[in-house]
């Protein structure tokens, strides 16, 4: 991506939209802000889902499914939650050909309906911890939709847990945040910062919101997942009570956490380049594509025969796609698969078969090399590992280059202008000061990282004593 594109977010936004559509991940639908996820994009989501689901189950959670429609009275029970979500809710007022007595809210998230049920499921300390998760769609009526990043309807997983003690619930909040961090780094090759949100940015109804934040190639930060410590807020609003070991009636301590189809947007914006997507092998729907090259019919039979053998050798170890479409030339296919971000490409023609070799090309470096036919499978597996690691290292290096330590406001402003990225700076902890900075520079506090220094300088903006070291972007 040329530097000027990184600097001008408008162009970056155009690049993003164009790549998502041309790579056949998704399109806008006729319903404003809603997205049609195409087969290639959905295959990507399925791979994310499969691995994340495994991680969620390994940490002891079970899947459930709750209704999409929530009675209005549930939505109004938790005060902050109502305030935060009411403006962006879609509400069903008519059904069965008549007005409804009680409007039904299409879920923007499921805390309310799930807690209404947990109050029935939970009676005793023996019922705790209650650890559930659901894969679902939710609707939030956003003003400015963008494919995958902010659509009216999106797919996600939302975990909801209830615990005996505050300590247990806090541990769960951190455990799931770390599951997200590990997933982002290991599978998506996106290095992320973990931290806590300032009060302005936290979830409506939470005591604390923790997040993973990745730095995109335009220098903007993207929240890729959140884990909330809910305290007893929802338990009190929905009467989620249990009888403790001591026989007292107590409110449960709760958490909720989620990641969404936004991860796909993060993937595109972290790793993409001028040629299109660049998908980490572990999550790519197609890990290696084979492009056959031939002219005459007898060559075609020879090449396709050899490819059939390769396919059999690879079996389930590599997600392999053979592009045997007749209507496109090899050069056209190279470009198409680069646009779609396939990590490794194999070219094979009559000359290669004669010499007992194939051509293997890497999407991330563009390297093209002859590989002996006999060692092909191992070479591909090695290349996939190398691409996975290469993408992570490159993204980490980019983040490091784009993280500026700012002791004073001028340094911060200059960095935002010249090398947009994370600004590491001291902050006084005052919400009004945070709001001023946002009005002045458009930068917001993305996270208060867990890694904190021993001492703080004065607040970067107002010069009052610093309370936290924060990341602006």
Residues lying near RNA in the complex (CB under 7 A) are found at 10, 13, 17, 28, 32, 84, 87-88, 140, 142-144, 146, 149-151, 154, 156, 201, 203, 211, 223-226, 258-262, 275, 293-295, 326-327, 329-332, 334-336, 338-339, 345, 347-352, 358-359, 361, 366, 368, 442
Q: CB of 292: closest distance to RNA in angstroms?
A: 9
Report how far residue 145's alpha carbon sits from residue 88's, in angstroms, rounded to the nearest whole number.
Answer: 13
Q: CB of 334: closest distance to RNA in angstroms?
A: 4
341: left (phi over 0), alpha (psi -120 to 50) or beta: left
Task: Tell me whether residue 100 or residue 339 sits nearer to RNA (CB atom).
Answer: 339
Report how far residue 330's alpha carbon sits from residue 336's, in angstroms, rounded to the nearest whole number.
Answer: 10
Report how far residue 121's alpha carbon sits from residue 109's, in angstroms, rounded to the nearest whole number.
Answer: 20
Q: Which of 259, 263, 306 is nearest to 136 (CA)?
A: 259
Q: What is the DSSP letter of 136?
A: E
Q: CB of 60: closest distance to RNA in angstroms?
A: 23
For residues 94 and 100, the answer to whether their CB atoms sit within 8 Å is: yes
Report how far residue 66's alpha carbon sits from residue 132's, in angstroms, rounded to the nearest whole number.
Answer: 11
Residues 6+ apart with CB under 8 A from 420: 6, 7, 218, 219, 220, 402, 473
Task: Tell me whether residue 45 or residue 251 sits nearer to RNA (CB atom).
Answer: 45
Q: Would you mind telling me the total number of residues written for the chain in this entry? A: 473
Q: CB of 203: closest distance to RNA in angstroms?
A: 6
Report how far residue 94's alpha carbon sits from residue 45's, in angstroms, rounded to the nearest whole number.
Answer: 33
Cβ of 393: how many Cβ atoms within 10 Å? 12
Q: CB of 335: closest distance to RNA in angstroms?
A: 4
129: cis peptide before it, omega within 30°? yes
For residues 225 and 195, the answer to whether their CB atoms sit within 8 Å is: no
Q: Which of 382, 268, 256, 372 is nearest to 318 (CA)?
A: 382
Task: Tell me whether residue 18 or residue 93 sits nearer to RNA (CB atom).
Answer: 18
Q: CB of 188: closest distance to RNA in angstroms?
A: 13
3-state SS class at 260: strand
Task: Tell me whether residue 247 or residue 356 sits nearer to RNA (CB atom).
Answer: 356
Task: Tell me whether residue 164 or residue 352 sits nearer to RNA (CB atom).
Answer: 352
Task: Tell me whether residue 287 or residue 426 sits nearer to RNA (CB atom).
Answer: 287
Alpha helices per DSSP H over 319-373:
330-339, 350-355
Q: CB of 237: closest distance to RNA in angstroms?
A: 19
* H or E element that contains 441: helix 431-441
Report how far residue 66's alpha carbon sits from residue 135's, in angstroms, rounded to the nearest whole number.
Answer: 10
Report how far residue 268's alpha carbon sits from residue 16's, in angstroms, rounded to the nearest whole number.
Answer: 7
Q: CB of 366: closest distance to RNA in angstroms?
A: 7
Task: Tell me whether residue 354 or residue 451 sits nearer to RNA (CB atom).
Answer: 354
Task: Tell me whether residue 71 or residue 350 sits nearer to RNA (CB atom).
Answer: 350
Task: Tell me whether residue 9 or residue 232 sits nearer to RNA (CB atom).
Answer: 9
Task: Tell me whether residue 327 or residue 455 sits nearer to RNA (CB atom).
Answer: 327
Report how far residue 306's alpha carbon sits from residue 300's, in angstroms, rounded to the nearest whole number.
Answer: 10
Query: Distance of CA 206 to CAs 132, 202, 270, 336, Å?
Result: 18, 7, 29, 45
Q: CB of 143: closest distance to RNA in angstroms?
A: 3
Q: CB of 129: closest distance to RNA in angstroms?
A: 24
Task: Tell me whether residue 128 or residue 348 sits nearer to RNA (CB atom).
Answer: 348
Burial 225-251 (b: 16+ CB within 10 A, else e): bbbbbbbbbbbebbbbbbeeeeeeebb
Q: CB of 246: closest distance to RNA in angstroms?
A: 37
């Amino acid at each position: 991506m040329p530097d000027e594109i990184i600097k001008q977010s408008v162009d970056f936004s155009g690049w993003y939209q164009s790549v998502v559509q041309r790579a056949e991940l998704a399109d806008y639908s006729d319903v404003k802000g809603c997205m049609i996820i195409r087969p290639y994009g959905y295959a990507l989501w399925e791979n994310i889902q499969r691995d994340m689901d495994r991680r969620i189950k390994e940490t002891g959670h079970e899947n459930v499914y709750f209704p999409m429609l929530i009675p209005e009275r549930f939505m109004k029970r938790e005060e902050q939650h109502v305030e935060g979500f009411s403006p962006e809710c879609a509400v069903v007022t008519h059904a069965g050909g008549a007005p409804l007595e009680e409007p039904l809210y299409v879920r923007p998230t499921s805390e309310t309906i799930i807690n209404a049920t947990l109050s029935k499921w939970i009676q005793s300390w023996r019922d705790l911890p209650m650890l559930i998760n659901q894969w679902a769609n939710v609707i939030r009526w956003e003003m400015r939709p963008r494919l995958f990043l902010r659509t009216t309807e999106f797919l996600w997983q939302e975990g909801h847990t209830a615990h005996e003690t505050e300590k247990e619930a806090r541990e769960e909040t951190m455990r799931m945040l770390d599951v997200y961090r590990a997933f982002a780094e290991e599978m998506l090759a996106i290095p992320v910062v973990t931290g806590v949100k300032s009060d302005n940015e936290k979830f409506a109804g939470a005591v604390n919101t923790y997040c993973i934040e990745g730095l995109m190639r335009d220098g903007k930060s993207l929240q890729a997942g959140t884990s909330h410590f809910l305290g007893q807020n929802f338990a009190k609003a929905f009467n989620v009570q249990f009888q403790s070991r001591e026989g007292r009636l107590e409110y449960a301590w709760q958490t909720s956490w989620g990641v969404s189809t936004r991860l796909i947007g993060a993937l595109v914006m972290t790793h993409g380049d001028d040629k299109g997507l660049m998908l980490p092998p572990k999550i790519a729907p197609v890990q290696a594509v084979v492009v056959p090259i031939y002219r005459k019919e007898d060559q075609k039979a020879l090449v396709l025969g050899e490819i059939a053998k390769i396919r059999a050798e690879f079996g389930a170890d590599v997600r392999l796609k053979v592009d045997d479409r007749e209507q496109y030339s090899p050069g056209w296919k190279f470009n198409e698969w680069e646009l779609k971000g396939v990590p490794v490409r194999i070219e094979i023609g009559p000359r290669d078969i004669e010499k007992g070799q194939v051509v293997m090309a890497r999407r991330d470096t563009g390297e093209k090399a002859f590989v002996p036919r006999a060692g092909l499978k191992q070479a591909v597996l090695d290349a996939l590992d190398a691409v996975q690691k290469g993408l992570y290292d490159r993204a980490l290096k980019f983040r490091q280059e784009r993280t500026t330590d700012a002791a004073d406001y001028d340094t911060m402003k200059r960095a935002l202008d010249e090398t947009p990225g994370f600004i590491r700076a001291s902050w006084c902890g005052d919400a009004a000061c945070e709001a001023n900075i946002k009005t002045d520079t458009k930068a917001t506090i993305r996270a208060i990282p867990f890694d904190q220094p021993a001492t703080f300088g004065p607040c970067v903006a107002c010069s009052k004593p610093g309370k936290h070291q924060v990341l602006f972007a």
